[in-house]
Amino acid sequence: MLKTMLTAAALFVAATPPAFALSDIVCDQSNMSKLEKDVKSIKDEMKKDYANKELAMAKDALASNDSDKCKTHMSNAMKGNDPM
């Protein structure tokens, strides 16, 4: 029982930070330019390709004034730059 509760608590804690991080993202041209620079510096080609696709979708969402979608795609593009 204790093991189940600890596992559930760990999963909850692991799932919570991305929601907060997404609310911190500002979807504007300035941040899009910074993200584009970060994506260009990614060394891993698979991550770079993924991040470029997400960046393109974020730009489309910014152009259509869909800030939630833009934030999601910017967040996904940033994950491509995380060292794993």
Residues 4-36: tens digit of each pLDDT: 755 655 555 454 444 445 568 899 999 999 999
Question: pLDDT, tens digit, for every residue of 33-55?
Answer: 999 999 999 999 999 999 999 99
pTM here is: 0.68
For residue 71, give every residue at least 6 positions away whose Cβ sits within 8 Å of its Cβ, in sequence order, or none.
22, 25, 27
Q: Are 50 and 80 in contact (CB under 8 A)?
A: yes
